[in-house]
Amino acid sequence: MNRHEAEQAIAHDLNTIDMALIFAKGRARTKFIQHRKACMAQIKGWNVDDGVDGLTDGELLMELSA
């Protein structure tokens, strides 16, 4: 799986997790939260690799639109 495919899979997972957290309880909710944390950790790692980890929201938006 290339990076673009991985990014798309994570985006899909995050959307699914957000919806599931509305209804999930107990152990299932805990697993969704753990998976969300893992997804966010991967995104933060990519941000470091791309050199955008220290940017403000405005700077990041400008970088993305350039």
Answering whether pTM is above 0.85, one says no
Chain segment 18-51, per-residue pLDDT in tens: 999 999 999 999 999 999 999 999 999 999 998 8
pLDDT attached to residue 21: 97
Radius of gyration of the chain (CA): 14
Cα–Cα separations (whole angstroms), residue 2 to 5, 8, 9, 25, 49: 5, 10, 11, 34, 15
Say how many CA atoms lie within 13 Å of 28 toward its Cβ. Answer: 9
